[in-house]
Structure 1
């Protein structure tokens, strides 16, 4: 993250370009919110959305738009246990950053920003954490049943819904029509095969 920010700052200084933060920016949230518009237009009966979380841009945009359409809709975040800063932040009621992360879901290693945190804090019901092995099983289901190539970070929502944490929680038994955001096809097949063979 630090090297990316340094390089971005250098490009800004050299070119006069405008920086758009990849998640901690209102323009990003607005764009991500269109996902809710499309989902709820096509399936208005959805009462629950499960979304991957990292820096919070995707889930914040989705939550803001979905709640404006249906204030009763439930929003859950899905996060790997090896990078569970959002789950820890929800419990602590403040932004927590981790000294290191360790997960196959490499797209979910960023930390919440000051712009996304209030949305996550107030509109996301809970963060469901899952093990990498559960993410790999969800990817396998996507490959075999849906015939869709999805990266670990994108398959985590399915892993969360299939997890015992979600399935066995009596508070969530009324989640009947669940929308899961599955995104991203950036899969390093070498790493994936190694993970599947463990």
Structure 2
């Protein structure tokens, strides 16, 4: 699984080698582990940023604590990001992922809307979170990310429960 996900970095950096930062959704860690290992093998100075919902922020808590944290419950519209890091993915996240930005569901919904309106692409909440992270004040105002000029954002999945989505727009 991790190796297969790494092909995303291979394709991305083959097409746009000047990318200096890649933003990846994080959950169980398979996607970000593959993307990170491949990207850093190609360009060791590339920065990898994980994007995680505030209602399922076990990876951010784990990175801050230096050990795997398991949440008693998760609550987010990004239901594809509710898994927990494992023994194979945790070391990659701990040692090679540069940072984790958490965003709330409202920011995720706004990023989904932008993907649809501007890119004409339907992206599920879990897949739109990378854009939400880059648009967040946490990213925009961080000195650590001010040099990120050529940013690759992993957008994924079109599995959208429209009933849940429409309800969320009304909030």
The normalised TM-score by structure 2 is: 0.99
Report the equivalent of 1:9: none
Kindly report which structure 2 residues correspond to 1:1-198, keeping only aligned pairs within 5 A, or say none.
Answer: 28-198=1-171
Between the aligned partners of 1:112 and 1:164, the Cα distance in structure 2 is: 26
Partner of 1:4: none
4+ long deviations beyond 4 Å: none
Gaps of 5+ in 2: none
Q: Which residue of 2 aligns with 1:10?
A: none
State the distance in 1 between where 2:144 and 2:31 align.
25
Displacement of 1:170 = 1.4
Structure 1, residues 16-52: CA drift from partner, whole Å, max 9, x if none?
xxxxxxxxxxxx0100000000000000000000000
Structure with bigger gyration radius: 1
Unaligned 5+ residue runs, structure 1? 1-27
2: CA distance between counterparts of 1:196 and 1:119? 36
2: distance between equivalents of 1:182 and 1:100? 25
Greater relative contact order, per chain length (Cα 8 Å cut-off, separation 6+): 2
2:110 alignment partner, SS class? helix
TM-score, normalising length: structure 1:
0.86
The alignment covers a number of residue pairs equal to: 171
- How many angstroms apart in 2 are the aligned matches of 1:50 and 1:124? 10
- 1:48-87 deviations in whole A, cap 9, x for unaligned? 0000000000000000000000000000000000000000
